[in-house]
Structure 1
Amino acid sequence: MNWLHNVEIVLFDLDGTLYQDGTFYKRYLELLFDKGEHAARLEEFLVEMASLLEGSHPSSIGDWYHPGSDTWTRGGDLTVHRDWQGQQVEAVPDTAEMASIYAGDAWSLVSIFAAKYGVEEGQRQLAFQQVRKEMLQGASSFERHLDLYEAIGGLTGVRKRILLTNSPENTGREFISALACTDLFDEIVYGAGKPSGLERYMSELIEQEGLRPDQILSIGDHAWNDLYPVRKLGGQTVWLSPYPSSEMVQWDVQLSTLDELADLLVMLQQAQEQKLEQQAEVNT
């Protein structure tokens, strides 16, 4: 990874990047479906969700779900649609009101279940906020990762460490405060509107900071939101995901655990220190 010494800006995602939690989706689905016409199917949904994450389902992380036709596609091939059992079907085109959903992480998979079974957006948002609240109360496997936060704090060789999250400020600020990592970042952007918001933000950074695209590194677990916009503009990418995926793009670095991410950030700082030493030698 000879490019590490070029990095001047590091962009971080929040969910799945500053913490990992493999159980929250169970409570999320429960809040969405424990009442109403689909309540009797909650256990079925939990099993299907687990199979999507484990890679034993016909669809997986990295696929696209199309609510308008209740079908899945894989990669950039929008001509081959499959149903939930993996059988190829003739698809009905999606409508603007029912936009396709990229299965980027567990959060987006829950959104797919909500879209499939007609959960209103207001109800989903209330469930999301309740899950966030319960995570802070210790009702899941959510926990701080001290080695990672130490590694982020130790990134003194880069120009800026920036956190961008699609979470609205009212829930995101409380959550980040509970992680006790607010002071680790030079800037925190709430409601970032990724992926399009990330592309705009990076373009502005390049102009304002006088940077080349390859001097910006983005780290995230949701490839469509966190990495595709940066790769499109020529930046560096780190994909952090513990789940099997159909994603075919080869990111600059692919990791599965927060321990691995902490190690990478230590390597990044070491590369920055070596660059400074070499520059000092040239100037003496």
Structure 2
Amino acid sequence: MLEEQQMDWLHEIEVVLFDLDGTLYQDGKFYKRYLELLFHEGNYAASLDEILEEMECLLEGKHTSSIGNWYHPSTDTWTRETLGDQLHVTHYTWKGTEADVETNQSTNIPVIYAGDAWSLVSIFTVKYGIEEAQRQQAFQQVRKEMLQGASSFERHAGLYEAIGQLTDVRMKLLLTNSPENTGREFIAALGSSDLFTDIVYGAGKPTGLEHYMNELMKREGLRPEQILSIGDHAWNDLYPVRKLGGRTAWISAYPSSDPSPWDVRMTTLDELAALLKDIQQVKYSKI
């Protein structure tokens, strides 16, 4: 619960960075249609039903892997980080058996952080050899169907009200990796286009977020701790900001193995709306 977390820094926040997918809305069904479009035909090592079952296990924390782990396409293995007296990295196969550490050193194919349901789908496409063009086509179709109401995607009026009422911060910025052609109509469908000081499409997170934050601090004369980043994909939305000393709020309906100490951890949009109201209340009381 938000009230149980250490929140004595809220009054410092001058800029709030928002993500789009999984942050301004939550949808627990889109990935089923996404995988359907990708695997409904073709000869793969696993059937669509098997992939859907495995996907659900990954999201629910019932798999040997989970949100917060790293997938290595070149070796079809995973790594998980755990914190103790020092950071410990475990290498293992899809079935959970220990993997040879040496086989995980290839850099021919970039590793993938399992940050959210979208990235898990990407992992399945890489694992089973689906081409990027086919994945992009399926992505565009899923987006289109979401806008047509074919999923559990919906506006959260309380959240958008809280964003609108957050008036005592200097800026509210939306950064999304979605390209402008799909991102703009998606944000318009949410009815949230006018809620933000600026919207950045194709943000190129995580690297793009780090560059953006550095430029923002330089231009606006901000300290890192005056910036709060909110997102569901920790590697894209939070790691770059924490690296620079900013505040971080992770929101996801799914369990994660990532051991990082985010400033706030939330599971629902109700909690996010409450956090924004808390910021506004604290800021207003300081006036």
TM-score when scaled to structure 2?
0.93
Which position in structure 1 is the counterpart of 2:17? 11
Aligned counterpart in structure 2 of residue 89 of structure 1, from 71, 85, 99: 99
Which position in structure 2 is the counterpart of 1:281? none
Q: What is the CA–CA distance in structure 2 between the aligned matches of 1:200 and 1:136, rounded to whole Å?
A: 31
Aligned counterpart in structure 2 of residue 267 of structure 1, from 266, 278, 286: 278
Return the letter of the residue paired with 1:49. M
Q: Is the 8 A contact 1:145 1:258 kept in 2?
A: yes
Q: What is the CA–CA distance in structure 1 between the aligned matches of 2:212 and 2:149, rounded to whole Å?
A: 34
Q: What is the CA–CA distance in structure 2 between the aligned matches of 1:60 and 1:80, rounded to whole Å?
A: 13
Which position in structure 1 is the counterpart of 2:80? 74
Deviation at 1:75, TM superposition (A): 1.8
Closer/same/farther in 2, CA of residues 87 and 40 from structure 1, 3 Å limit: closer
> Which aligned runs of 4 or more in structure 1 are off by greater than 6 angstroms?
none
Aligned counterpart in structure 1 of residue 217 of structure 2, from 183, 192, 206: 206
Is 1:156 aligned with 2:162? no
Is 1:41 aligned with 2:47? yes
Deviation at 1:98, TM superposition (A): 1.6
Deviation at 1:81, TM superposition (A): 1.8
Return the letter of the residue paired with 2:243. K
Q: Deviations over 1:189-236 (max 9, x none)?
A: 000000010000000010000010000000000000000000000000
For the residue of structure 2 that corresponds to 1:107, the secondary structure is helix
Closer/same/farther in 2, CA of residues 117 and 39 from structure 1, 3 Å limit: closer
Return the letter of the residue paired with 2:271. E
Q: What is the CA–CA distance in structure 1 between the aligned matches of 2:211 and 2:99, rounded to whole Å?
A: 37
Aligned counterpart in structure 2 of residue 257 of structure 1, from 262, 268, 277: 268
Deviation at 1:39, TM superposition (A): 9.0
Q: Following superposition of structure 1 onto structure 2, how do residues 1-284 of structure 1 map, counting pairs within 5 Å?
A: 1-38=7-44, 41-75=47-81, 80-91=90-101, 92-93=103-104, 95-276=106-287
For the residue of structure 1 that corresponds to 2:199, the secondary structure is strand
Deviation at 1:38, TM superposition (A): 2.4
Q: What is the CA–CA distance in structure 2 between the aligned matches of 1:174 and 1:180, rounded to whole Å?
A: 10
Aligned residues with identical type, % of pairs: 68
Q: Deviations over 1:28-85 (max 9, x none)?
A: 0011110111297000000000000000000000000000000000027786321111
Q: Deviations over 1:158-201 (max 9, x none)?
A: 00000000001111111111111000001000000000100000
Which position in structure 2 is the counterpart of 1:280? none
State the Cα RMSD in Å. Answer: 1.4
Q: Is the 8 A contact 1:67 1:94 kept in 2?
A: no
Q: What is the CA–CA distance in structure 1 between the aligned matches of 2:253 and 2:194, rounded to whole Å?
A: 27
Return the letter of the residue paired with 1:235. G
The 10-residue stretch of structure 1 (67-76 or 130-139) with the greater mean CA deviation from structure 2: 67-76
**Structure 1 gaps, min length 5:** 277-284
Closer/same/farther in 2, CA of residues 230 and 270 from structure 1, 3 Å limit: same
Closer/same/farther in 2, CA of residues 160 and 207 from structure 1, 3 Å limit: same
Matched residue pairs, number? 276
Closer/same/farther in 2, CA of residues 171 and 139 from structure 1, 3 Å limit: same
Q: What is the CA–CA distance in structure 2 between the aligned matches of 1:95 and 1:123, rounded to whole Å?
A: 25
TM-score when scaled to structure 1?
0.94
Q: What is the CA–CA distance in structure 2 between the aligned matches of 1:140 and 1:269, rounded to whole Å?
A: 32
Q: What is the CA–CA distance in structure 2 between the aligned matches of 1:95 and 1:128, rounded to whole Å?
A: 28
